[in-house]
Structure 1
Amino acid sequence: MKVTLRDIAEKVNVSISTVSRVLNDGPHGVEDAMHLRILKVAEDLGYRRAKKTEQNRKKISEKQIGLIINKMKDKYHDPYFSELIYGLERELLDLGYTLGFTYDAQDLINMSFMDEIQGNDYGIICIATSTELLDQLSKKVQYIISVGGTPELDIDYVTVDFEKGARESVNHLLRLGHKKVAYIGSSSFQSSVSLVKEGRFLGYKTALENQGITLHQEWIADGQFTIGGGYEAMKQILMAKDRPTALFTASDQMALGAYRAIQEAGLSIPGDVAVSSFDDIEMSQFMHPPLTTVKVDKEELGRIAVKLFIQRMEGSLPLPMATYLPTKLVVRESCGVAMK
């Protein structure tokens, strides 16, 4: 029976991509002891490398390229993910490829998919999936990329500098004189990322701490990255004895829900509560008042992820890469003018 990269990876307990880099003589960032162990296990198992010419002739089209998203309904209901996936699919089509399958990460637990993956047959693009799932997949498939995730593993990432963007958004509120700034986000966006590690929360926290402002727990709420979640989170925040004068939300979807809660409470935006956010979905410019937010080029995020992914599958990238797209603060009317 032919020995595969997966066989070696399971024996050594490392990812398939790590084994591939070591056996193909490229820069691999692996400690010498592990490097030698991989070579020894490959020899003991009788692994035979294909010739470079044979490898290059093998077309990517022979592999299945799949998409795994944390929540399938986000593909259709959340403008952020809709735009991202549109860019991803358009770039695949432009390069002559299509998605072979799309799965909800939550459903994989109840499927045999994880047991059926063959190391050289699949390339998987993951959007907003947990680090635990990424780790499992990276040990079963040779090609995997995370889009929009927090770089933690020895795989490719294309993402956004969430911390920097959030910091700029909150700093805008601080420059206007606000010191009581609330936060609506979520630790469940990636199940493995706690609130204290989530980039947008870190940006919020850092901006306040840099100005010597203490965080108030009653002003921090989980909005679950949904409109309804943002609404309920803002209602909770407004119950605080000391009401905040400003709000930063980690997504425009949550800001939309927060708007409703603020207005239902008889308060005005930005007169009583200034609001800044993150994403710049199309709807944000038509909210009342138009929403100040951090612009993320979602379509470009998807396109760049595909370009990097195809380069990886072609074998032209020696080491895992973490690529960050820039963000830009778009100032609209929801923050008002400087406080008196």
Structure 2
Amino acid sequence: MVTIKQIAKAVGVSSATVSRVLNYDPALSISPAKRQAVIETAEALNYETPRNRNRGAKNGGARASGARGGQAPGSHPDDNRLPRLALVHFLEPSEELSDPYYIGVRLGIENRCKDLKTEIIKVYHSDDLPSPALLQGATGVIVVGKHSAREIDWLKPNSRHLVFADFNPRRDDIDCVFCDLGAATRGLLDNLDATGYQRIGFIGSFENIDGHAEPYGEQRCRSYIDWCREKGRFDEDLLVLGNICDSGQNLRLETGYMLAQKLLAVAPLPDAIVTANDNMAIGAYRAIQEAGLSIPEDIAVVSFNDIPVAQFMNPPLSTVRIGGEHVGEAAVDLLLEQIAGRDFNKKVIIPTRMIWRQSSRAPEGQVPTSAE
């Protein structure tokens, strides 16, 4: 059960102040912003005043949601409704199910909300923007994944509190949490270079912005190009890209397979292939093995995400671990900070971690990880 002390800590006031706000003490001197922060934090954490708990017991255990808006506890007609957060996802449900990373992001959000006893309403991608009433009726909104400037401009004024997860909108007025995949790509390439790989290919996807494909905008691809040019080793034949959402379907496995076939037609062959995600790596494995080549003896394969199946591939896949669940959890925490009254914006970067397995040579001092 959430306590007054926990609410006081979240908002940065004394427990006595929280108690007086929630009991609507008219003699209390406090700024309107701080008073609202106390009320909204109590709502988000599903705090129940003793008065509401006693009323619930008398009524057969019916649960009240505590302080809401500017109303006295118990006086709002919707007082039995749990406080709500809205999750707006850039993928359709079928697309999300084929991508374990984004399932992890969503589970991180849902599990954090479950711990806080906060209701979460999920709104998946469609051709239409969500209902303004749905967003405006939520205490806060978490937006998962990449959205266009037009969508961001619409979401901002229609959300009481707003956080982007797994996307940096590059705006100073919006909270976001993400992993720096550009820096992770450079680190990965530095390690491959240090272990002797010289001819490194890349399999990735187009950046889709407002319905238009930008060939080299995706940050892993951009970092790969920049790194290769700095080394004087950029070869256009070693860079193959495709659309991961052809015909509205998530085709990352098939896309990885088809793009790897194109890369294997290049002479001389690459000695290592970097794929933008583990699903693409699975497709690349098939293409390499069908060509009669061996991993990693003929071609090394490294990737991103560290989905659960990566450690059970043959050979186990070297991959950059991206903490999807941590991204989701941090997004909820940022939202709670906003609700508690934080009046400046934050960008949180969740670190990545390279997991070396048997699909490539590991740098000196790094022991390949066995199945976990």
CA 327–55 in structure 1, closer or farther in 2 if over 3 Å, else same: closer
Matching residue within 96, 102, 115 for 1:75: 96
Letter in 1 for 2:87: L
TM-score (normalised: structure 2): 0.69
1:102 pairs with 93, 115, 122, which one?
A: 122
Q: Post-superposition shift, 1:116?
A: 3.6
Structure 2 counterparts to residues 114-125 of structure 1, below 5 A:
114-117=131-134, 119=136, 121-125=138-142
Aligned pair 1:89/2:110, yes or no? yes
3-state SS of paired residue (1:185) = strand
- C-alpha change, 1:129 and 1:252, in structure 2 (3 Å) is same
Match of residue 214 from structure 1? 234
Q: CA deviation at 1:222?
A: 2.2
Q: Report Cα offsets for 1:239-264 as digits up to 9, x if no partner.
A: 23443221111111111111111111
Native 8 Å contact 1:84 1:300 kept in 2: yes
CA distance in 2, matches of 1:331, 1:102: 35
Q: Where does residue 32 of structure 1 map in the other structure?
A: none
Shift in Å at residue 326 of structure 1?
0.8
Map Cα deviations across residues 224-248 of structure 1 (whole Å, 9 max, x no partner): 2721221111112222344322111
Q: Secondary structure at the match of 1:333?
A: coil
SS of corresponding position for 2:114? helix
Cα deviation digits, residues 147-177 of structure 1 (max 9, x gap): 1113412211100010111112222222222
Amino acid at match of 2:333: K
Q: Which has the larger radius of gyration?
A: 2
1:143–1:313 Cα contact (<8 Å) kept? yes
The aligned counterpart of 2:80 is none
Deviation larger for 165-174 or 58-67: 58-67
Contact 1:128 1:190 in 2 (8 A): no
Contact 1:76/1:82 (CA < 8 Å) preserved in 2? yes
Residue by residue, what CA displacement relative to the aligned partner does 1:162-206 show, whole Å, maximum 9, x if unpaired?
A: 011111222222222222211112224665784433221233223
Residue aligning to 1:280: 306
Higher relative contact order (CA 8 A, sep 6+): 1
2:352 pairs with 1:327: yes
Question: Distance between the aligned counterparts of 1:256 and 1:293, measured in 2?
Answer: 12
- Where do 1:177-196 residues align within 5 Å? 177-188=196-207, 194-196=214-216
> Is the counterpart of residue 57 in structure 1 residue 39 in structure 2?
yes
Tell me the CA shift for residue 120 of structure 1: 6.1
Q: 1:305 to 1:115 in 2, by over 3 A?
A: closer
In structure 2, the CA distance between the partners of 1:250 and 1:256, relative to structure 1 (3 Å rule), is same
CA distance in 1, matches of 2:308, 2:135: 40
Once the two structures are overlaid, the 10-residue window that deviates more, 51-60 or 85-94, is 51-60
CA distance in 1 between counterparts of 2:288 and 2:147 reads 32
Greater CA deviation, 199-208 or 115-124? Answer: 115-124
Letter in 2 for 1:281: I
Report if aligned partners of 1:221, 1:237 keep a CA contact under 8 Å in 2.
no
How does 1:1-340 map onto structure 2 within 5 Å?
52-54=34-36, 56-58=38-40, 59-60=43-44, 64-71=84-91, 72-99=93-120, 101-105=121-125, 107=126, 109-110=127-128, 113-117=130-134, 119=136, 121-132=138-149, 133-153=151-171, 154-188=173-207, 194-217=214-237, 219-222=239-242, 224=244, 226-315=252-341, 317-336=342-361
Distance 1:323 1:260 in 2: 37
Query: In 1, Cα distance between the equivalents of 2:288 and 2:84?
Result: 47
Provide the C-alpha distance between the structure 2 equivalents of 1:115 and 1:95, rounded to a whole number of angstroms. 25
SS at match of 1:168: helix
Structure 1 residue 324, shift from structure 2 partner: 0.2
Query: How many Å separate the matches in 1 of 2:33 and 2:297?
Result: 69
**Secondary structure of 1:335's aligned partner:** coil
Range moving further from structure 2, 247-256 or 163-172: 163-172
Task: Give the residue type in structure 2 aligned to 1:282.
Answer: P
Structure 1 residue runs without a partner (length 5+): 1-48
Q: Does the 8 Å CA contact 1:131/1:152 hold for their aligned counterparts?
A: no
- SS in structure 1 of the partner of residue 187 of structure 2: helix
Structure 2 counterpart SS, 1:214? coil
Contact 2:237 2:266 in 1 (8 A): no
Q: How many correspondences in the alignment?
A: 285
Give the secondary-structure state (helix, strand or coil) at the position aligned to 2:119. Answer: coil
**1:124 counterpart SS class:** strand
User: Normalising to structure 1: TM-score of the pair?
Assistant: 0.75
Amino acid across the alignment from 1:178: Y
Tell me the percent identity.
27
The aligned amino acid for 1:287 is: M
Single out whichever of 50-59 and 291-300 deviates more from structure 2. Answer: 50-59
Root-mean-square deviation over aligned CA pairs: 2.6
Partner Cα distance (1:54, 1:291) in 2: 50
Q: Distance in 2 between matches of 1:302 and 1:78?
A: 15
Check 1:117–1:54 CA distance in 2 against 1; reply closer, same or farther (3 A cut): same
Report the CA distance shift for 1:122/1:195 in structure 2 as closer, same or farther (over 3 A). Answer: farther
**Amino acid in structure 1 at the alignment position of 2:180:** D
